[in-house]
Amino acid sequence: GSCGGGGLGRVQQTEEHVRRLGATHNIRVEVCHLEGGDALWMAKRRHGGGGAGGGDGNGNGDGDGDGNYVLDLVIERKRLDDLISSIRDDRYRQQKFFLKRSGIRQLAYLVEGDFRALDQWGTNEATIKAIKSATVQTEIFDGFQVFRSMDLKETFDLFGRLTVAVAERYARLTSADSAATAAADAEARGGNGGGSANGGGNRSGGGGGGSQSAYPPAQHPEPLVPPTLAEYNLKVKNAKRSLSTLKTVWGTMLMQVNGLGPEMAQAIIDTYPTPGSLNAAYAQRGGGKPAADLLAGLHTSRTHTVGKVVSERVFTSLFGHMLTPLAR
């Protein structure tokens, strides 16, 4: 079954769509509390065990039994107006940062709304460019699969198709198959690039099948045991709680710099855990351009670095250093 978080809209608004989705696609849909993302998919015990979203609806009731596994797909949904505001206050980068630490390997981002309507709203050109840039960055640099829909109806239609694809992939598997399936996926990617060699994976990996494009193989070969909904929520909650630590206070300071997101902040914190340690490193370089470029080559991933522009901004705006002497 699929589980939608509160971010899908007000409960009264979504109940009708949830009922329609279930009737149309013959699937079980529930509205429950999610610490991160707006929709995910779960495998439930055939005998015993409640459904996710049971109990108190906060990841603590009978519905979060150990036999209810969160499958490897979570979607963050953003309406265009919400995406605009989340870009401005940088929520969208933080939300992606938390999802990357959720333990779920297939991450997707759904942008809901008609881009042509932006002109009717009087949206300025800079904002339109920021929206398009954010979606490209999310897909190319952050590794999320990006979906688009015109409205909430299309969103739930997409969820229905994804549910069919997920069911085809996992329907024949049991909890004992999780490690074997991950290993088979890794072997297939290293060889002929086919689908999973285990159970339902054969059905989603065939040529030309709709489920292959809708639900691609996981990008990471680690044989992870699927978490329960409670474990998923706890992992995301712990990532959020880390914001109150000293290192993350330092990270919050760093993220005040234009263009510096959570990934860059984490990379800087890992190398320079306090502002004082970074300032001391600047001093060792003697200031000036060598110091300004100190962070430029710092890797935020295998293929990306902080870059000279952001490195210089940290040096000048956050620490108040000057690149050139004051004019006399």
pLDDT per position as a tens digit, 241-297: 875 676 778 888 898 898 898 889 989 988 888 888 898 889 888 888 899 999 999
Choose the final residue of a domain: 236, 265, 284.
Answer: 236
| pLDDT value at residue 283 | 86
* Distance, CA of 195 to CA of 117 (rounded, Å): 39
Q: State whether 44 and 146 are in the same domain.
A: yes
In a domain, 39, yes or no: yes
In a domain, 324, yes or no: no
Q: State whether 167 and 305 are in the same domain.
A: no
**Residue pair 157/167 in contact by the 8 Å Cβ criterion:** no
Burial of 71 (0-12, 13-18, 19+ CB in 10 A): buried
In a domain, 323, yes or no: no
103-112: pLDDT as tens digits: 899 999 999 9
Domain, as residue range, for 150:
2-236
Q: State whether 249 and 230 are in the same domain.
A: no
Choose the final residue of a domain: 205, 236, 267.
Answer: 236
In a domain, 326, yes or no: no
Give the confidence band of 305 by pLDDT, cuts at 50, 70, 90.
very high
**Higher pLDDT among residues 6 and 82, named by residue:** 82
**Higher pLDDT among residues 234 and 202, named by residue:** 234
Q: Does the CA dihedral 220-224-229-230 come out positive or negative?
A: negative
Q: State whether 67 and 91 are in the same domain.
A: yes
176-189: pLDDT as tens digits: 665 555 555 555 55
Contacts of residue 135, Cβ cutoff 8 Å, sequence gap at least 6: 109, 111, 146
* Exposure b/e, 282-312, CB count within 10 A at least 16 = b: beeeeeeeebbbbbeebebeeeebbbeebbb
Farthest-apart Cα atoms in the chain, separation = 81
| pLDDT value at residue 192 | 40
Contacts of residue 88, Cβ cutoff 8 Å, sequence gap at least 6: none
Q: State whether 34 and 136 are in the same domain.
A: yes
Q: State whether 82 and 27 are in the same domain.
A: yes
Q: State whether 264 and 184 are in the same domain.
A: no
| DSSP β-ladder status, 29-31 and 2-4 | parallel
Give the confidence band of 174 by pLDDT, cuts at 50, 70, 90.
low
pTM of the shown model = 0.62
Domain containing residue 52: CATH number: 3.40.50.10130
Asked whether the predicted pLDDT for residue 328 surpasses 50, the reply is no
| pLDDT value at residue 113 | 92
| pLDDT value at residue 152 | 84
Asked whether the predicted pLDDT for residue 146 surpasses 90, the reply is yes
Q: State whether 83 and 173 are in the same domain.
A: yes
